[in-house]
Amino acid sequence: MNYEAFFESELTTLKEDGRYRIFAELERKAGAFPSAEQFSGERRRPVTVWCSNDYLGMAQHPAVLAAMHETLDRCGAGAGGTRNISGTTHSHVLLEAELADLHHKEAALLFTSGYVSNWAALGTLGARIPGCVILSDALNHASMIEGMRHSRAEVHRFAHNSPEDLDRRLAPLDPARPKLVAFESVYSMDGDIAPIAEILDVCEAHGAMSYLDEVHGVGLYGPRGGGVAEREGLMDRVSVIEGTLGKAFGVMGGYIAASAALCDFVRSFASGFIFTTALPPALAAGAAASIRHLKTSQIERARHRECVAQVRRRLAAIGIPTIDNPSHIIPIMVGDAHKCRRISDWLLEHHGIYVQPINYPTVPVGTERLRLTPSPVHSDADVDRLVAALSEIWSQCELARRAMAA
């Protein structure tokens, strides 16, 4: 086989379909985010980032940076081993306690990312609970899907956010059989929120465990940033809460929070937990500082909500079509991969506005979009510039507008 020719031809297909991923090379400016510099070859230009998952700007928060500097200087760079072999530092233990407390669970278990936490936890639970059947929301994240597949457990998909369909699919299963229902709180591409209470009702009626991915909820929702389940008073009813330290918390890493026995079980059997180097202690300390701050401070969440509402209002006023949802994610619908790319390139080139195009396979063909994530650190002037630029390119591309809001 001509390997190189094969790789090239596969990439050509992606490019023809408008699905080829081009990364924007950025240098974030601590203290000035959402301002960053974008590099293209020799050139650098200032940009405003509108698509970051650093939802609250915690990646530049003084308390987070201070904790990381202090721990780095005191403890050095790396953890120096897996958790089992010399890599469990005091910072890791404190962070796990912080997470267990955040979710009112007996215990928490850290992983190197949210992706790994889903993959390892679902993989282990599905594989190691004898006869386990997993019920999976149809729009679950790739990391959950990979974990379930890896587990080799029987998996049934239920219709997205439908407790009724979940109930229908659970009903014929042997009541004695172990069951695990895996779903998310905030779905990141449409920004819709699961009917968590209704799904938990169904789980409880069928004796199923529940596994909730709160990756896009933690830090942002609930009085202490415990997520949508905290806001709705439901954390106690969820068997496993999974989250990331890389989005609203602004650092890196993933975790599950659950009973002491469940966490100990995953700790003891998950290959993706056992056989990998622990997070650097400075990362763990930074994440703990971020969580601790957001447990009491409401200002970031309040400003975040205001900015989201403001951007929504302004886009509605000029008829830019967005998905109406109850979350902080604003998907602007373009519906064509090439146009989506072109708009994104044009915004960057002419206005220094960076919004990454979201195309298939991340979203279905025909629903290509720009996913905006306003934050407490975007200014009114940033919003003005964004809205004016979108209006201009919408006219240039002759894209449809919604009837203007009254």
Ligand X SMILES: *Cc1c(COP(=O)(O)O)cnc(C)c1O
Catalytic residues: 247
User: Does the footprint of ligand X cover residue 52 (CB under 6 A)?
Assistant: no
- The interface mask with ligand X, positions 139-178, x = CB under 6 A, is --x-x-----------------------------------
User: Does the footprint of ligand X cover residue 222 (CB under 6 A)?
Assistant: no
Q: How far is the CB of 327 from ligand X (least distance, A)?
A: 12
Neighbours of 178 (CB within 10 A): 18
Query: How far is residue 353 from each of residues 80, 346, 370, 388, measured CA to CA in Å?
Result: 40, 9, 12, 11
Answer for which of 71, 244, 290, 375 binds ligand X (CB under 6 A) is 244
Q: How far is the CB of 188 from ligand X (least distance, A)?
A: 4
Return the structure tokens found at 15: 């490019």
The one-letter amino acid code at 108 reads A
User: Does the footprint of ligand X cover residue 371 (CB under 6 A)?
Assistant: no
Q: How far is the CB of 248 from ligand X (least distance, A)?
A: 11
Q: How far is the CB of 142 from ligand X (least distance, A)?
A: 8
How many alpha carbons fall within 13 Å on the CB side of residue 337?
15
The one-letter amino acid code at 375 reads S
Q: Is 316 left (phi over 0), alpha (psi -120 to 50) or beta?
A: alpha
Nearer to ligand X by Cβ, of 122 and 282: the residue is: 122
Q: Is 152 left (phi over 0), alpha (psi -120 to 50) or beta?
A: left
Q: How far is the CB of 117 from ligand X (least distance, A)?
A: 8
Reference 138, options 192, 202, 215, 206; nearest CA is 192
Stretch that binds ligand X, among 109-117, 125-133, 276-284, 313-321 (CB under 6 A): 109-117
Q: How far apart are the first and last CA of the chain?
A: 62
Q: Residue 35's Cα: distance from chain center in Å?
A: 21
Say how far apart CA 12 and CA 31 lie, in whole Å: 40
* Angle ∠(102,107,108) on CA atoms, nearest 5: 70
User: Does the footprint of ligand X cover residue 114 (CB under 6 A)?
Assistant: yes
Backbone angles phi, psi at 188, to 5 degrees: -75, -20
User: Does the footprint of ligand X cover residue 327 (CB under 6 A)?
Assistant: no
Stretch that binds ligand X, among 90-98, 112-120, 150-158, 172-180 (CB under 6 A): 112-120
Answer for which of 98, 184, 192, 300 binds ligand X (CB under 6 A) is 184
Nearer to ligand X by Cβ, of 188 and 290: the residue is: 188
Nearer to ligand X by Cβ, of 50 and 255: the residue is: 255
Q: How far is the CB of 234 from ligand X (least distance, A)?
A: 18
Say how far apart CA 267 and CA 107 lie, in whole Å: 11
How many residues bind to ligand X according to rule CB under 6 A? Answer: 14
Stretch that binds ligand X, among 21-29, 151-159, 166-174, 210-218 (CB under 6 A): 210-218
Answer for which of 137, 165, 190, 213 binds ligand X (CB under 6 A) is 213
Q: How far is the CB of 216 from ligand X (least distance, A)?
A: 6
User: Does the footprint of ligand X cover residue 254 (CB under 6 A)?
Assistant: yes
Nearer to ligand X by Cβ, of 91 and 244: the residue is: 244
Reference 256, options 121, 394, 69, 112; nearest CA is 121
Backbone angles phi, psi at 402, to 5 degrees: -75, 155
SS3 100: helix
List of residues contacting ligand X (CB under 6 A): 113-115, 118, 141, 143, 184, 188, 213, 215-216, 244, 246, 254
